[in-house]
Amino acid sequence: MKKIVCKDYEEMSAMAADVIAFQIKSKPDSVIGFATGSTPVGAYKRLVEMDLDFSRITSFNLDEYYPLERDNPQSYYRFMHDNLFGLVNIPDGNINIPDGECENPIAECEDYDKKLIKIGGTDLQILGIGNNGHIAFIEPNDDLPLATGVFELDDDTIAANSRFFENAGDVPKKALSMGLRGIFNSRHILLLISGKAKANAVKRLLDETVSTQAPASLLKLHPKVTVIMTEDTQ
C-alpha cells in the first residue's frame, strides 16, 4: 500500500485527479470504478477542468441507496451526473450504477455482479472510507459479502450521511453495493481520505492487522493500493 499524505483537501484532490487522468490517458478504454460522497468531489471538479476524453471509458459505481428514485437530489445517480458524467463526454451506455428504482433488487445486484465479472474488473477503483471503516456500503461485521448485494446501512453511516438529507429519517436504510470481490478485482485501488472524523478508520487501515470489523483494513491484502490522505486524518 502506497501512502501519500497531503497538507489539505485541495492538494489531495489535485493528486487524485492526476492519478485518474493518467489512467485515462494511458488507457483510453479504461474501466473505472467511481465513488460518491463528499471526499472525491474536488478530484472530479479538477478532472472536468482537464478536458479529458471519456468517450471510450466505461464506469461502474460502487453503490446506490435503495430504494431511491434517480431524480432524488441525494441519489448517487444524480451525484455522478451533477459532478462528473454530465460534464464530460462519457456515453450514457457506458455508465453503470446500481438502479435504486429497480423492482427486483436481488436480480439487479446479480446482474451488476455478472457485468463486473464479464468485463474483468476495473482498471482503477476510486474509494472513500466511512468513519466506521466501511468501504462502499460494506459495513463492519463478522462476515463480509463478496458479491454485489442489498446491504443494510449501519446506524453510524446513517448518522454520517444524514448531513446530506433534510432529516436523518430520510436516509434510506439499505443500499445496493458492490461486495469485496468487485472492489478487490480492481487492478489499482485509489483510496481518498480527508478530515479528522476518519482518524479511527485510518488507524485500522494503517496498523498491522486486518479485521472484518474494519472493512477498509482488508485493503492491505490488495497488491496495488494508493492512499491519498490529508494530514489531519492521522
For the residues of 39-99, what is the DSSP string, one character each? TTHHHHHHHHHTT---TT-EEEESEEEES--TTSTTSHHHHHHHHTGGGS---GGGEE---
Looking at 63, 99, 113, 123, which residue is catalytic?
63
- Helix (H/G/I), strand (E/B), else coil: 226: strand
DSSP-assigned letter for residue 135: B
Looking at 96, 113, 123, 134, which residue is catalytic?
134
> Which residue from 33, 130, 133, 172 is in contact with ligand PGA, where contact means CB under 6 A?
130
Question: CB of 201: closest distance to ligand PGA in angstroms?
Answer: 9
Question: CB of 37: closest distance to ligand PGA in angstroms?
Answer: 3
Q: What residue type is assigned to position 141 of the chain?
A: N
Q: Is 129 in the site for ligand PGA (CB under 6 A)?
A: yes
Question: CB of 205: closest distance to ligand PGA in angstroms?
Answer: 12
Q: Is 75 in the site for ligand PGA (CB under 6 A)?
A: no
Task: Report the site for ligand PGA in 11-70 (rule: CB under 6 A).
Answer: 37-39
Look-up: residue for cell 479529458?
52
Q: What residue type is assigned to position 109 of the chain?
A: C
Look-up: residue for cell 435504486?
100
Active site residue 81: no
The catalytic residues are 63, 132, 134, 139
Kindly list the residues in this chain that would bind ligand PGA in the complex (CB under 6 A): 37-39, 128-130
